[in-house]
Amino acid sequence: MGKYCKSNRSCICKSIEYYFKKSNMSTRPLISIITPSFNSQKTIARTIESLLTQTYENIEYIIVDGGSTDSTVDIIKQYESKFSGKLRMISESDCGMYDAMNKGILLATGKLIGILNSDDWYEPDAIESMTDIYMLNDDSVLYGILRYIENNRETMLYRMHHESLKDGMITHPTCFVPKVIYEKYGTFDMKYLISADYELMLRFKKNNVKFIPVDKIIANFSFGGLSTLNNDGLIESLRIRNNYNYISYGRMIWEIFKLQVKSLLKKINITG
* CA angle, residues 63, 213, 241, in degrees to nearest 5: 80
pLDDT digits (tens, 9 = 90+) for 188-231: 999 999 999 999 999 999 999 999 999 999 999 987 544 444 68
Structure confidence at residue 224 (pLDDT): 59
Strands (E) across 159-209 are located at 176-178
Helices (H) and strands (E) in the chain, counts: 9, 9
Cα–Cα distance, 144 to 166 (Å, whole number): 18
Cα–Cα distance, 161 to 200 (Å, whole number): 16
Better-predicted residue by pLDDT, 38 or 263: 38
Identity at 43, one-letter amino acid code: T
Contact 249, 146 (CB under 8 A): no
**Among 117-131, 145-159, 169-183, where is mean pLDDT lowest?**
145-159
Residue 1 in this model has a pLDDT that exceeds 60? no
Residue 2 in this model has a pLDDT that exceeds 70? no
- Expressed in percent and rounded to 5, the helix, strand and coil fractions of the chain are 45, 20, 35
| Whole-structure pTM value | 0.86
Structure confidence at residue 4 (pLDDT): 46
What are the b/e assignments for 99-134, b being 16+ CB within 10 Å? bbbbbbbeebebbbbbbbbbbbbbbebbbbbbbbbb
Identity at 56, one-letter amino acid code: Y
pLDDT digits (tens, 9 = 90+) for 229-255: 468 889 999 999 999 999 999 999 999
Cα–Cα distance, 257 to 244 (Å, whole number): 20
pLDDT digits (tens, 9 = 90+) for 28-61: 999 999 999 999 999 999 999 999 999 999 999 9
Contact 32, 63 (CB under 8 A): no
Identity at 61, one-letter amino acid code: Y
Identity at 7, one-letter amino acid code: S
Residue 112 in this model has a pLDDT that exceeds 70? yes
**Could you tell me the sign of the dihedral formed by the alpha carbons of 111, 100, 184, 205, in that order?**
positive
Q: Please count the residues of the chain.
A: 272
Give percent of the chain with pLDDT exceeding 90: 79
Cα–Cα distance, 28 to 25 (Å, whole number): 5
